[in-house]
Amino acid sequence: MQWVSYLPSLAQGALVTAWITLAAIAVGAVLAFVAGIARVEGGRAVSTLALCYTELFRGTSLLVQLFWFYYALPLIGISFEPVATGILVLALHVGAYGSEIVRGALASVSVQQFEAARALNFGRMHTLIHVTLPQAIIEMLPAFGNLAIETLKLSSLVSLISIADLTFRAQSIRNLTLDSAGVYSLTLVGYFAMSLVLMLVMRLIERWARRGAAFPRAAHS
């Protein structure tokens, strides 16, 4: 029953993982909407800027991004706390992938909806806020759910910039006890439990968004 003694330390790490993941998802979702809407609605300059952001962060290694923000950026005088760096880099990752989700969902709203909005003389802003986004968000939710879980798993990389998250704690305990099987099994269970909670929360959000029978044909079960 040696593994029981790992639990307090692992639980502390899990809290850090949860906090970093949730903060990254929250900030990243905002970035995703800003960049995704900019791609669809922005003028040429704005949408190109958003495209560059998306492709830059999708096209480079997350681990290298972490190192760059943690080790390279301070060389030009900008430095953050490790945790802030982890949240920032993960959020930029969520924003880049999420902007594609937002863009795709906005593009999937039928042209007839735009025409109906135009026939009612809605302006561009009102069309976006009241007609297209509410419909698109429903389409985005499953993909955002996947992205959230992916972010949770990727958050283990922050252990490499000395943040004491779940993975970091597991490593330390293993180095001390050499009980690889016990420590890593517990760690897997920890991540899995957190994913389950995330999945459940996303389901609830989805159900809430489809309330009122506005969209009775659920896109998936």
Partner 1 sequence: MTENATPPLIQFAGVTKRFGALTVLDDFNFEVAPGEKVTLIGPSGSGKSTVLRILMTLEPFQEGRLTLAGMDYQEPAGTGPFKASERHLRDIRSHVGMVFQSFNLFPHMSVMRNVAEAPVRVLGLSRAEAEARALDLLALVGLVDKKDHFPSQLSGGQQQRVAIARALAMRPRVLLFDEPTSALDPQLVGEVLAVIRDLAHEHDLTMLLVTHEMRFAREVSDRVCFFDKGRICEQGSPEAIFTAPSHPRTCEFLASVLG
Q: Tell me which residues touch partner 1 (CB under 8 A).
A: 112-113, 115-116, 118-124, 126, 130-131, 134-135, 138, 212-217
Q: How far is the CB of 131 from partner 1 (least distance, A)?
A: 6
**Which CB sits closer to partner 1, 21 or 132?**
132
**Within 13 Å, how many C-alpha atoms sit on residue 124's CB side?**
6
Question: Which residue, 76 or 217, has its beta carbon nearer to partner 1?
Answer: 217
Cα distances (Å, whole numbers) of residue 114 to 119, 123, 126, 140, 214? 9, 11, 11, 19, 18
- Report the nearest approach of partner 1 to the CB of residue 194 (Å): 32
63 membership: H or E segment, kind and range: helix 62-67
Kindly tell me which of 113 and 177 has the beta carbon lying closer to partner 1.
Answer: 113
Q: 215: helix, coil or strand?
A: coil
Q: What tokens appear for 83 in the block?
A: 């945790």
Instruction: Supply the minimum distance, in Å, between the C-beta of residue 128 and partner 1.
Output: 12
CB of 83 to partner 1, least distance (A): 38
The smaller minimum CB distance to partner 1, of residues 139 and 179, is found at 139
CA dist 199 and 107 (Å) reads 26
> What 3-state class would DSSP assign to 31?
helix
Q: Which residue, among 161, 203, 153, has the nearest Cα to 25 in the 3D structure?
A: 153
Q: Which is nearer to partner 1, 74 or 134 (by Cβ)?
A: 134
**Shortest separation between residue 41's beta carbon and partner 1, angstroms:** 13
